[in-house]
Structure 1
Amino acid sequence: MTIPYGYAKGTVISAPSLKPTRRDHETQYHLHFSVQVADEVWDVAVNVGTNDSDDLLKYKLVFDYRHPLIQTLQASPAGKNDLTDVNALPALDFVRSDLLGTTGRWRDSAVMDGSDTPEPVASLTRLIEKALSEKFDVYVFGRFYSEGNGIHDAHMNQGSKGRYIHRPNSDQNDHNAVWQDGAVLIDCRQPEWAAYFAAFEQQYLPTDDLGNPTPSSSPIS
C-alpha cells in the first residue's frame, strides 16, 4: 500500500516537548509541537534519538541551508500539501536527489536518557522555540497521521530491514518507500533557511525502487 505522505506548511504555536515512545527493544524520543496549518492545529512529531546505542540517530542540522527547493516551498500554499505517489521534488528522497549535497557529514546523536540536553534535542529545541517567537514559516515533511491532524516519520524512510521491508501488495502501513523521506525546514527569513535531516544507523544504502536495501548496501554510517 502507498503511505500518505507530504508536508505541512504553517507556523509553530506551542513550545516543543520531548516525549518517549517504546518500540520493540528501544525507546525512541520525539520533539512534539503544535503547528497552525491553515485553519487546523496539527501535532508534529520529530525524531531526535533513541536509547539504543546500536541504532543511534544520524542527523544534520543546517543553519544556512540552500537549495532550489526553497523557492518552491515559499510559493506553496499554507496548509497540507499531499505528495503521495509523487516521484520528484518537492517530495524528498535523500538518495535520488541532491538535497543533502552541501549539508556536510552526518553527525551522531547522543544516547538519549530522557533529558532535553543531549544533541540534537537541545539545538533543535532552540530552533523551534525561535520559530515560535518569530512566527517563521515551518515546513514539516513526513507521513500524515492515519487519525487526526498530524505528521510524523520526519526522517529517512527507506533502507530499513526486518519488518520495514516493502513488499508489493502488502497492507503494511509502515514500510520503506522512495520519495517519502522526512525533514523539517524553517524559513528564518531572507537569506537564511534552517534544515533538519535525520536517519538511523541501521538504515542501509543504496536502495532499490521500493526503498529496500540492495544486496550490496551498507549502513548509512
Structure 2
Amino acid sequence: MPLKNYGVLKGRAFDRIKATAQNEHFQILINRNNNPHRIAINTKSSLEPSQVLYYAVDNFTHEILDAISQADLPSGFTTVPSRAGTLALDFVRRNLFDAKLMVPLPSRGPADNDDLNDRLDFFVQQAIQDPSASVYAFGEHWPADGVPQGPDKYFPEITHSTGIHDIHMNQGNPLGRFYGDNGIWQDGGLLFHYASRNRWAAVFTAFQSQSFHTDERGNPKPIDPPIGESSAVSIIAALVNPSGDDTRKEFLILLNKSDQAVDLSGWQIVDKNNKKDTLSNQTIAATSTLRINLSGQGAQLSNKGGNITLLDKNGVKITGVSYTSQDAEASGFLVKF
C-alpha cells in the first residue's frame, strides 16, 4: 500500500550525522528542544544498482514555493493529502525538475564533494549555520501508529523517537519488496528556505531501480518511454494570464524539433489540479510550432503558479513545465519555458 502518513516536516536544522557503512542514512536533527524530529535520508539503495540518483539546485524556483508560502505551515509535521492541488510532491506529475539531469552518486567517496554524504552536507551545514533557514522535508512520518517509542538512537534528546523518512521518490518501484510502497503524489524531497536571502534550495533523490513512467497507482508503466518524433515535442511558451477574462483565451505553444510531423490525436494537456484537455485532429508539422488553445472546460492555467504536462495517447509523459505566480504577473504576456 502507499505511504501511511505522508506529509511535510518544517523546522530548524541543528545537527547532522553522516551515513556510514553500518547505516546508509544521513540523519538531521530538526527543532532541538522544541518538538524535535529526525530526518533520515537514504544514501544507498538496497537494490542494484546501489548508487542513489541525485539532483539539487541552490537557487530553486517553482510553483510549489508559492504554495508553501501561501500555506504558512507551522513548525513540526503537517499531514499532506496525496493528490493534485495540495503541497504533495510528485516527480512525474509536478514537473519539479528534469529527471534526465539526475546523476548516480555513491554514499561515500575518498575526495571532497564526490558522494551523496558530501552533497547533502553542503546544504545542511548552510541551514545549521543560518538562523533564518527553514528545512522542509517531505516523506513518511513515524511512528505511523502514534504509539510512543523509546529515545531516538541517533539523537537521544528526542525522548520518544519521531521523525520522517522515505525522503526520495516513492513510485515506480518494480515488482518485489518495495512495490507495495508505490503511489502518486507522495514523493519525498528536501527544500531549504534561507529567509534572510529569500532564497530556496532543493534536493531530490531516487533509486535507479525506479521508473519515471508510472500509472495512476504509481506503478511502472508496462510500455517503453517515448522515442522518435513524439519525444521531440516540447512546450516552449504559454499565455497564462490573458488580458481581461481568461476563459478560452489561454493557450500553449508547442515545438516539434524533428524532421517528421507528429499526430497529436488523443494527446492530453494536464494542469496542476489534474484537469485535462484532450486533443483531436491536430498535427504538428516537422520543425514547426503549433498553438494549442485551451477549451476552458479542462486544463486551466492558474495565475498563482502551476504546471503543464503533455501526455501522449498512451498516457506517457512527453514533457512538462512549471511556472510561478511571478512568471504570470504580467497580463497579456507569454510565459517562456
Give the TM-score, by structure 1 length.
0.80
Say which of 170, 173, 178 aligns to 1:157. Answer: 170
Instruction: Assess if the C-alpha contact under 8 Å between 1:52 and 1:111 holds in 2.
Output: no
Partner of 1:201: 208
Q: What secondary structure, in the 3-state scheme, does the structure 2 residue paired with 1:207 have? A: coil
Residues in 2 aligned to 1:37 and 1:93: alpha-carbon distance in whole angstroms: 29
Partner of 1:96: 93
Say which of 80, 84, 87 aligns to 1:83. Answer: 80
Deviations along 1:90-142, whole A, 9 cap, x unmatched?
100011112115x8711121364699864221121121011011121110001
Shift of 1:50: 4.5
Q: What secondary structure, in the 3-state scheme, does the structure 1 residue paired with 2:123 have? A: helix
Q: What secondary structure, in the 3-state scheme, does the structure 2 residue paired with 1:121 have? A: helix
Deviations along 1:11-43, whole A, 9 cap, x unmatched?
01113332456xxxxxx7211011018931001
Q: 1:46 to 1:217 in 2, by over 3 A?
A: farther
Counting matched residue pairs gives 203
Quick one: higher RCO (CA 8 Å, sep 6+), 1 or 2? 1
Q: Which runs of 5+ in 1 are unaligned?
A: 22-27, 167-174
Instruction: Assess if the C-alpha contact under 8 Å between 1:205 and 1:213 holds in 2.
Output: yes
Q: What secondary structure, in the 3-state scheme, does the structure 2 residue paired with 1:64 have? A: coil
Give the TM-score, by structure 2 length.
0.54
- Indicate whether 1:5 and 2:6 are aligned: yes
Q: Which has the higher strand share?
A: 1
Q: What secondary structure, in the 3-state scheme, does the structure 2 residue paired with 1:205 have? A: coil
Instruction: Assess if the C-alpha contact under 8 Å between 2:43 and 2:107 holds in 1.
Output: no
Residues in 2 aligned to 1:177 and 1:113: alpha-carbon distance in whole angstroms: 33
Q: What secondary structure, in the 3-state scheme, does the structure 2 residue paired with 1:127 have? A: helix
- Indicate whether 1:121 and 2:127 are aligned: no
Partner of 2:49: 54
C-alpha RMSD over aligned residues: 2.7
Residues in 1 aligned to 2:189 and 2:183: alpha-carbon distance in whole angstroms: 15
Residues in 2 aligned to 1:115 and 1:41: alpha-carbon distance in whole angstroms: 32
Partner of 2:37: 42
Q: Which runs of 5+ in 2 are unaligned?
A: 144-148, 150-160, 226-337
Residues in 1 aligned to 2:128 and 2:80: alpha-carbon distance in whole angstroms: 26
Amino acid corresponding to residue 216 of structure 1 in structure 2: I
Name which of structure 1's ranges 110-119 and 178-187 shifts more when overlaid on structure 2: 110-119
Shift of 1:202: 0.7
Q: 1:55 to 1:72 in 2, by over 3 A?
A: same
Deviations along 1:38-75, whole A, 9 cap, x unmatched?
93100111122348762321110111110121132232
Amino acid corresponding to residue 145 of structure 1 in structure 2: W
Larger Rg belongs to: 2
